[in-house]
A and B are shown apart, each in its own frame.
Chain A
């Protein structure tokens, strides 16, 4: 037996309730009857059984728990991922945490309730529905799903109560809303999740938007970013070692204890990596620069102070210039220390 769907339109509440009473007498099951109106009528008003009571609770609770989880993650876990002390406050102080928890729980409850509303109503409706635009003009629609035989008596009931209009169609044209709406929301959730993840491309610098104002482009010149500009011709004071005719312009520093201490410090930073801590050419870089000379030999001690100064300042063979690393006085300190190495070795 084919199913049919009937829609009767009534312009007042009295006729509607009478129709509903008659349908009940005809043993049409309650779930096959739908009443549609432009304003809410409580089931009591229509003389129908009230709808189920607490369907929203699980959704709201789920929202509350979700919001609570986010809030606790923010106030308890994130400060501990990289603990930073501010203003003598504990990492998770109570009052600010209470605020965050309240806001997220409230947001979660509202979102949960709304999602519950959408899912309970099976929105969005993606199938054809029995409906008539006149309902939003104030007519009350009673839609009944019944088999052929019952449909005739339903039509009679509608007519008996002066239905404004009756629509009668094959039920096959009005399929029951399937689970397609769930697929819709799942798809939307995936799109939304992707949209939420998209900013990570920026925060992880996978997409680097060039911006005119980046602090990493500093106007200052770093230690490694030579060469420095030459000083203007008349400028004083002179910076760095100035060489006249290949000779240093300054006098050696006396090999005082202070000078040797400074020299040792600078030597260990700048020279020992190749020439070794005791000048024995056993520094860690000698496997790449095996030609680095031992500094305690007669050849070195026979050199003039100025010559050692020039080698340090200008570099020689594969030894780089250290002019950028050492000031004039520091260079003399190193010269003094290099001389002292031989004495220390003996």
Chain B
């Protein structure tokens, strides 16, 4: 009997140190191409998870705020209906906002319509010089030029535990079955990943939380990512 998952990520901003370990782990796990310096200057930095750094105050009384932003896996995603080819669609089984690279023709409408700007376009064909291609994850396709991509909550890891050989969806996933690459890499346990449909999971027990907020919640996108932030705790103090 297939049961639906509702994948949820909690980002504890009070714990995030802005170390970027999650970014590196994501690059390795998901074959995310590396944008070179010139591309980054043009505003084409490509990280499925990025640590937005905001400065508050004036030097020397200055505070850094870190905000890890990645695909919010909206329950009501603006990027989905605008895609003419169904490359962006909604998976009820996993509660995820899916992206099928092979269907994408590169209209980039989803990127415009994403208020979080977490959809990335392959402006050029990605280059993995020998022997770097040896480290590519064979579970994840390498996206060619002209294709949109984004954080998938490591869908390949989810599929490995979820899908039966017949292609059906197995029972609901529980904590410990899998982790995403970024949660695995987070040294300060600021990223917590789990299934909100499982009442025993860590995310279910943590939510609702006094410190919780969702990014741009007023847009009604129903994000699956919750940010925790206390009123007085600030990184950099």
Given contacts A219-B136, A220-B137, contact A213 B81 (CB under 8 A): no
Which residue of the partner chain, among A85, A88, A215, contacts B144 with CB atoms under 8 Å?
A215
Given contacts A84-B86, A85-B92, A89-B81, contact A221 B133 (CB under 8 A): yes
Q: Report the nearest A residue to B222, measured CB to CB.
A: A88
Q: Is the interface of B mostly helix, strand, loop or mixed?
A: loop
Interface assignment of A94: CB less than 8 Å from any CB of chain B: no
Mark the stretch among B13-21, B70-78, B168-176, B199-207 that contacts chain A: B70-78
Q: Report the nearest B residue to A88, measured CB to CB.
A: B76
Asked whether, in the complex, the Cβ of B137 is within 8 Å of the Cβ of A87, the reply is: no
What total of chain A residues lie within 8 Å of the partner, measured CB to CB? 17
Sample of 5 more A-B contacts, CB < 8 Å, known A87-B81, A220-B141:
A84-B86, A85-B92, A86-B77, A87-B76, A87-B90
- CB within 8 Å of B: which A176-227 residues: 213-215, 218-223
Asked whether, in the complex, the Cβ of B144 is within 8 Å of the Cβ of A213, the reply is: yes
Nearest chain B CB to A227 CB, angstrom units = 11
* Distance between Cα atoms of A298 and B130 in the complex (Å): 48
Which residue of the partner chain, among B90, B101, B136, B141, contacts A88 with CB atoms under 8 Å?
B90
Contacts of A88 in B (CB 8 A): 75-76, 90
Nearest chain A CB to B141 CB, angstrom units = 6
Q: Report the nearest B residue to A79, measured CB to CB.
A: B86
| Interface flags, B104-145, vs A, CB<8A=1, else 0 | 000000000000000000000110100101101110111111
Given contacts A214-B144, A218-B142, A219-B136, contact A86 B86 (CB under 8 A): yes
Interface assignment of B147: CB less than 8 Å from any CB of chain A: yes
Give A contacts to B, CB under 8 Å: 84-89, 213-215, 218-223, 228-229
Given contacts A213-B144, A215-B102, contact A86 B81 (CB under 8 A): yes
What total of chain B residues lie within 8 Å of the partner, measured CB to CB? 32
Nearest chain A CB to B6 CB, angstrom units = 15
Q: Report the nearest B residue to A212, measured CB to CB.
A: B125
Interface assignment of B80: CB less than 8 Å from any CB of chain A: yes
Interface assignment of B224: CB less than 8 Å from any CB of chain A: no
Contacts of B75 in A (CB 8 A): 88
Q: Report the nearest A residue to B137, measured CB to CB.
A: A220
Q: Report the nearest B residue to A222, measured CB to CB.
A: B138
Contacts of B83 in A (CB 8 A): 86
* Distance between Cα atoms of A213 and B126 in the complex (Å): 11
Given contacts A85-B92, A87-B80, A87-B81, contact A215 B138 (CB under 8 A): no
Interface assignment of B31: CB less than 8 Å from any CB of chain A: yes
Asked whether, in the complex, the Cβ of A85 is within 8 Å of the Cβ of B90, the reply is: yes
Q: Report the nearest B residue to A224, measured CB to CB.
A: B138
- CB within 8 Å of A: which B189-220 residues: none
Asked whether, in the complex, the Cβ of B131 is within 8 Å of the Cβ of A219, the reply is: no
Asked whether, in the complex, the Cβ of B141 is within 8 Å of the Cβ of A218, the reply is: yes
* Distance between Cα atoms of A135 and B135 in the complex (Å): 81
Contacts of B137 in A (CB 8 A): 220
| Interface flags, B1-40, vs A, CB<8A=1, else 0 | 0000000000000000000000000000001000000000
* Distance between Cα atoms of A85 and B78 in the complex (Å): 12
Interface assignment of B146: CB less than 8 Å from any CB of chain A: yes
Given contacts A86-B86, A86-B89, contact A219 B76 (CB under 8 A): no
Asked whether, in the complex, the Cβ of A228 is within 8 Å of the Cβ of B134, the reply is: yes
Q: Report the nearest B residue to A86, measured CB to CB.
A: B80
Asked whether, in the complex, the Cβ of A87 is within 8 Å of the Cβ of B138, the reply is: no
Q: Report the nearest B residue to A214, measured CB to CB.
A: B144
Given contacts A87-B76, A220-B133, contact A215 B81 (CB under 8 A): no
Contacts of A218 in B (CB 8 A): 136, 141-142
* Distance between Cα atoms of A89 and B90 in the complex (Å): 10
Contacts of A84 in B (CB 8 A): 86, 89-90
* Distance between Cα atoms of A84 and B77 in the complex (Å): 14
Nearest chain B CB to A103 CB, angstrom units = 15
